[in-house]
């Protein structure tokens, strides 16, 4: 939370509640999951970069011919 909201840990502990901490942990877990997916060559939506590029190329080709 300190990274996301520019708060010192002591400020968070002083004014935060359990829900704040649960949300922060969930956000951190999501960022970790997303980074691992990206490092394996996949987007967070589970599509490979090659597949997404093929889709982009197909749309561009369709727009060029239409």
For residues 21 and 13, the answer to whether their CB atoms sit within 8 Å is no
pLDDT number for residue 39: 82
Give me the count of residues in the chain.
66
**What is the model's pLDDT at position 21?**
81
Q: From 57, 49, 5, select the one nearest 27 (Cα to Cα).
A: 5
Domain count, the chain: 1
User: pLDDT tens per residue, the chain (66 residues)?
Assistant: 667 778 887 887 788 888 888 888 888 888 888 888 888 776 667 778 889 899 999 999 998 886
**Domain span including residue 7:** 2-65
pLDDT at 53: 92
């Amino acid at each position: 939370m300190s990274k996301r909201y520019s708060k010192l840990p002591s400020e968070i502990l002083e004014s935060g509640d359990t829900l704040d901490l649960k949300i922060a942990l969930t956000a951190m877990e999501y960022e970790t999951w997303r980074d691992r997916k990206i490092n394996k060559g996949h987007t967070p939506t589970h599509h490979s970069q090659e597949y997404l590029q093929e889709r982009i190329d197909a749309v561009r080709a369709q727009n060029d011919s239409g």
